[in-house]
Each structure stands twice: as C-alpha cells, then as structure tokens.
C-alpha cells in the first residue's frame, strides 16, 4: 500500500552518454539485422529460383534429346528421300532414253513398267524393224525378252513384248 | 523505433536495477536539529545503516555533504522525509466531502488507509516541504501516523490503545480499536509555549515545580498536548470513543521518563514505552514503500 504523499521520482540508471551509445548500437544492430534478414530472404528466393532453373534445365535437356532423335530420324528420312529421288531421276532418264530408242516404224499403245518387268504393246510395220531397232536394246537391258505378234488387216503387226529382269540375290 | 528503444531501456533498467544496491535516505527534521539515516538495501536485507544528527532544520553544508555522499552510493537512491508540517493529521473518513467535518485544512493531499480513515497534509505544506529539500529532491513524504502504523502494526490490529509518537518537534497520537481508527491528533511542540491563560500558566508552573524539571524542558507541553487530545477524544461527539487502558509510547527523545511517569500517574493508564531510531524507521518505511520487505 502506498503511504507517501508524493510518488518517487523516476530513477535514471543510465547516463546520457550511455543512452546515446545504446541508441547508436541499437540502431546499428537494427540496421544489420534488417540487412541480414533482407539477404536471408534474397538467398531463399535465389535458392527457389535455382531449384526451378535446375528443373527447367532437366526438362529442356530431355526435350533436346528428343529433338536430337527427331533430327536424326529426319536426316535418315532425308537421305532416304534423296535416294528415291535419285533413283526416280535415273529411272526417268532410263524411260526417256528407252522412249528415244523407239523407232518411227513402231507405234506404242501401252507401256507398263514394274520393278521386274516391262510390257510393251503396240503396232509395228514389220518384224525386222521391231527386232533390229527395239528388240536388240531391250535384250541388252533385260535378262529375258519375249515378243508375241498378231497380224493386222492392213498388213501391220500388233505386238506384245514382255521383258523380265531377274532379281539379283545378294551374296 | 522509439517503442523498441523504450522497451530496451526499460528492460535494461530493470535488469541493472536488480544488481544495484538501493539506498534509502530518511530525513527527520526536529526543532533544533535533524536526523538523517542512510539505509543500504540489497534484496530484502539491510547491508548498511548509518544515522547521524545535524544541527538545524533546513539543509546546511554538513547535511548536504552527508546526503551527497549517500546519494553516490547508488544511482537508485530514494529520499524520504517525515513531515513536520503543522497542517497535517488523520481523520476517521476516507471521503474528501466529509473531511471538512474533522479538519479545517483546505486542499489537503491525503492517503486513504483501509478505506476507513485518511492521513492528510495541506497542499501548501507539501509544497513548502518539497521546496525546503529541493536541492536533494524528495521521493517520499510520510505522515507520522504512517510511522505509528508501522511501529505498532500488530498491537493496532489486536488491541484498543493510544499510540503515541513522541518526536523531537511534535507529538503524534492515534487511538485505534482492533484496527478501527477512532481518533488522531498532531501537535507541534514549540520551544516557547503559545499564549496561555493565567489558569493554565499556573497549572504548568505547579507541574514543573512538582516534577523538579528545568524551564527549558518541554515535557509539560507534551503532556498537556496529550491530555488535551484525550479530552477531545473522550468528549467530542464526532469521534467514537471508549476508555483507553493502554498507551504505546514510541520515543525518539533521550529524557522521556518524566512524561511516561506523568502519563502513568496523572492519567492512570498503563504505558509501554520503546525507544526508536526514528530516522532509521522512516528509511525502513521508505524501503517497504518501494517494495522491499526489510
């Protein structure tokens, strides 16, 4: 219970100099703590970003691997296409050369070319012209050539020629 | 930031305060001299105690020097004063509105006790006391009745008695019945008696002759003050009264056998006297007020 008519004066344990020093060190401590907290926060954020980037790197690496596979596949396909194109060009050239061989005495109605044979149908003025100007080159190009003639009313001959190319077995 | 700083300072203050010794300085002004006690307290124990007596009532160089030395013992020093103002007392009410029935003191500062009685001190007197000791500064100002309450705490609770503090410049007395406050009186004893009637002067001279005491002894004045207070107690209808059979007499003076004899012989009341170091008791009171159980 308070029996005094007055209240005691507040006591100052710390002098002004000590208070000033305390304020100074308190401010410094607060600033340093704030900076430490800021850097700690930044570090945490960077760690999170690093983890995300690592995950992204793994994902991109996987995608890159898949793309490399695709590129390899496309390159194979491109080579294959190039081969086909070359073969087609050669074939086209062969057909052109063959058609250049057809003499004026022979009229072709049908040309069927497959991988193993060539079927020609048409009309020739005579067998000699056919044999000498068309049969000879066909025999040089195919392994076997068979021709069937059918006489027409106007004296010409209808022919059906079938040239066969044997498939070569690989050693 | 200011809140943080204040919090840090308060925390540090509390922490540092725990390690500091607390010094309680008590000043008890008398009529011709003052007593000053210095009490060093650590925890709940008194580690050092020194009481000195100085000539004069107002602060002088010797007192100031002693007080400065005491204040240097610890930054946690508290100065307490036992009020010697005339305009003080104690009345059986805690209500400011009813205080006017018991005292003429205007604008009193008061301390309510047990919500049944109050110790008061005039505001002017309080201001003058603070001015008198402005150079050292005061932390506590106590009423003599507070001291009586501390000195006779147990008896006040258990008995119906008259409690007297016979102090250098005054007599403070209070009547309490098993903790119930009934009456109090505070009389400043002047060196020379105030104007008295011829009848009173004759009675006093007769008393002095009977007791064979010197004319400078103020014992008759003190006895008269007590007698007058008891008369008021017994006859004033404002106060609840009953016959007093016991007096507890706390004495700070060296020669008090005479007044004790007078009380016994003239009033026919049993008196239990004890001598006290009043400055020490005030310092102890200050320590208890500050929360130290010494």
State the SS3 of chain B.
Answer: CHHHHHHHHHHHHHHHHHHCCEEEEEEEECCCEEEEEEEEEECCEEEEEEEEEEECCCCCHHHHHHHHHHHCCCCCEEEEEECCCCCEEEECCCCHHHHCCCCCCCCEEEEEECCCEEEEEEHHHHHHHHHHCCCCCCCEEECHHHHHHHHCHHHHHHCEEEEEEEECCEEEEEEEECCEEEEEEEEECCCCCCCCCHHHHHHHHHHHHHHCCCCCCCHHHHHHHHHHHHHHHHHCCCCCCCCCCEEEEEECCCCCHHHHHHHHHHHCCEEEEEECCHHHHHHHHHHHHCCCCC
- Please give the pLDDT value at position B212: 52
Give yes or no for A1 touching B (CB within 8 A).
Answer: yes
Instruction: Determine, for residues A6 and B143 on separate chains, whether the beta-carbon distance falls below 8 Å.
Output: no
Q: Mean pLDDT over residues A42-51, rounded?
A: 97
Instruction: Determine, for residues B83 and A5 on separate chains, whether the beta-carbon distance falls below 8 Å.
Output: yes
For A11, which of B75, B111, B141 is closest by C-beta distance? B75
Cα B66 from chain centroid (whole Å):
22
Task: Pick out chain B residues at pLDDT < 50.
Answer: 194-195, 213-215
pLDDT at A114 over 90: no
Give yes or no for A8 touching B (CB within 8 A).
Answer: yes
In which band, very low, low, confident or very high, does the pLDDT at A135 lie, cut at 50, 70 and 90?
confident
Within 17-76 of A, beta carbons closer than 8 Å to B belong to 19, 22-23, 26-27, 30
Give yes or no for A14 touching B (CB within 8 A).
Answer: yes
Enumerate long-range contacts of A32-35, CB under 8 Å, 24 or more apart. none
Element (H, E) at A33: helix A16-101
Give yes or no for A6 touching B (CB within 8 A).
Answer: yes
- Please give the pLDDT value at position B191: 64
Write the pLDDT tens digit of every residue in A57-85: 999 999 999 999 999 999 999 999 999 99
The more confident residue out of A16 and B130 is B130
Distance from CA of A32 to the nearest CA of B (A): 14
Instruction: Determine, for residues A3 and B143 on separate chains, whether the beta-carbon distance falls below 8 Å.
Output: yes
- Please give the pLDDT value at position A170: 46
Q: Which residues contact B251 (CB under 8 A, 6 or more apart)?
A: B166, B260, B273, B274, B275, B276
Query: ipTM above 0.90?
Result: no
- On chain B, the residues whose CB falls within 8 A of the CB of A13 are 12-13, 16-17, 20, 75-76
Taking residue B91's Cβ as centre, other Cβ atoms within 10 Å add up to: 24
Distance from CA of B247 to the nearest CA of A (A): 24
B289, B292, B293: best to mutate for the A interface, most A CBs within 10 A:
B289
Instruction: Determine, for residues B289 and A2 on separate chains, whether the beta-carbon distance falls below 8 Å.
Output: yes
- On chain A, the residues whose CB falls within 8 A of the CB of B143 are 3, 5
For B109, which of A5, A8, A13 is closest by C-beta distance? A5
pTM, two decimals, is 0.64
- Please give the pLDDT value at position B282: 97
Q: Give the relative orientation of helices B2-19 and A16-101 as an angle to the nearest 10 degrees.
A: 130
A4, A7, A31: best to mutate for the B interface, most B CBs within 10 A:
A4
For B5, which of A9, A11, A23 is closest by C-beta distance? A23
What is the chain A residue with the closest CA to B142?
A4
Instruction: Retrieve residue A98's tokens.
Output: 């063959």
- Please give the pLDDT value at position A16: 81
Q: Give the relative orientation of helices B198-211 and B219-235 as an angle to the nearest 10 degrees.
A: 120
pLDDT at A171 over 50: no
Instruction: Determine, for residues A5 and B143 on separate chains, whether the beta-carbon distance falls below 8 Å.
Output: yes
Write the pLDDT tens digit of every residue in B227-244: 999 999 999 999 999 999
- DSSP conformation letters of A37-102: HHHHHHHHHHHHHHHHHHHHHHHHHHHHHHHHHHHHHHHHHHHHHHHHHHHHHHHHHHHHHHHHH-
What is the chain A residue with the closest CA to B139?
A8
């Amino acid at each position: 219970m308070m029996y005094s008519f007055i209240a005691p004066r507040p006591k100052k344990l710390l002098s002004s100099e000590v208070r000033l020093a305390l304020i100074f060190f308190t401010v410094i401590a607060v600033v340093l703590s704030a900076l430490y907290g800021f850097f700690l926060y930044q570090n945490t954020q960077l760690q999170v970003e690093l983890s995300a980037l690592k995950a992204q790197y793994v994902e991109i690496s996987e995608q890159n691997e898949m793309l490399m596979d695709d590129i390899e596949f496309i390159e194979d396909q491109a080579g294959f296409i190039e081969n086909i194109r070359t073969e087609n060009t050669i074939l086209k050239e062969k057909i052109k050369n063959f058609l250049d061989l057809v003499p004026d005495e022979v009229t072709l109605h049908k040309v069927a070319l497959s991988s193993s044979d060539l079927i020609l149908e048409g009309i020739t003025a005579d067998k000699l012209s056919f044999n000498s100007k068309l049969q000879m080159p066909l025999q040089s190009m195919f392994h076997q050539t068979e021709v069937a003639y059918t006489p027409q009313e106007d004296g010409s001959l209808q022919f059906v020629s079938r040239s066969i190319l044997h498939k070569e077995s690989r050693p | 930031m200011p809140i943080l700083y204040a919090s840090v300072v308060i925390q540090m203050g509390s922490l540092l305060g725990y390690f500091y010794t607390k010094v309680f300085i008590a000043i008890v002004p008398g009529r011709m001299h003052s007593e000053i006690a210095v009490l060093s307290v650590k925890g709940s124990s008194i580690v050092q105690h020194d009481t000195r007596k100085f000539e004069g009532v107002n602060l002088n160089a010797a007192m100031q020097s002693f007080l400065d030395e005491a204040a240097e013992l610890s930054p946690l020093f508290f100065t307490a004063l036992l009020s010697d103002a005339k305009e003080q007392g104690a009345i059986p009410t805690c209500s400011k509105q009813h205080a006017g029935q018991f005292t003429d003191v205007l604008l009193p500062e008061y301390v309510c006790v047990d919500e049944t009685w109050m110790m008061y001190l005039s505001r002017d007197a309080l201001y003058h006391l603070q001015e008198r000791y402005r150079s050292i500064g005061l932390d506590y100002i106590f009423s003599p009745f507070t001291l009586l309450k501390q000195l006779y705490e147990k008896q006040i609770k258990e008995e119906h008695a008259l409690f007297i503090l016979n102090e250098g410049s005054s007599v403070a007395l209070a009547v309490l019945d098993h903790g119930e406050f009934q009456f109090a009186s505070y009389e400043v004893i002047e060196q020379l008696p105030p104007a008295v009637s011829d009848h009173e002067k004759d009675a006093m001279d007769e008393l002095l002759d009977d007791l064979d005491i010197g004319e400078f002894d103020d014992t008759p004045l003190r006895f008269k003050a007590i007698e007058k207070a008891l008369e008021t107690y017994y006859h004033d209808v404002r106060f609840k009264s009953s016959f007093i059979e016991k007096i507890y007499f706390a004495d700070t003076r060296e020669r008090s056998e005479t007044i004790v004899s007078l009380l016994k012989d003239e009033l026919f009341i049993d008196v239990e006297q004890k001598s006290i170091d009043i400055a020490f008791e005030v310092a102890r009171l200050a320590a208890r007020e500050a929360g130290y159980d010494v």
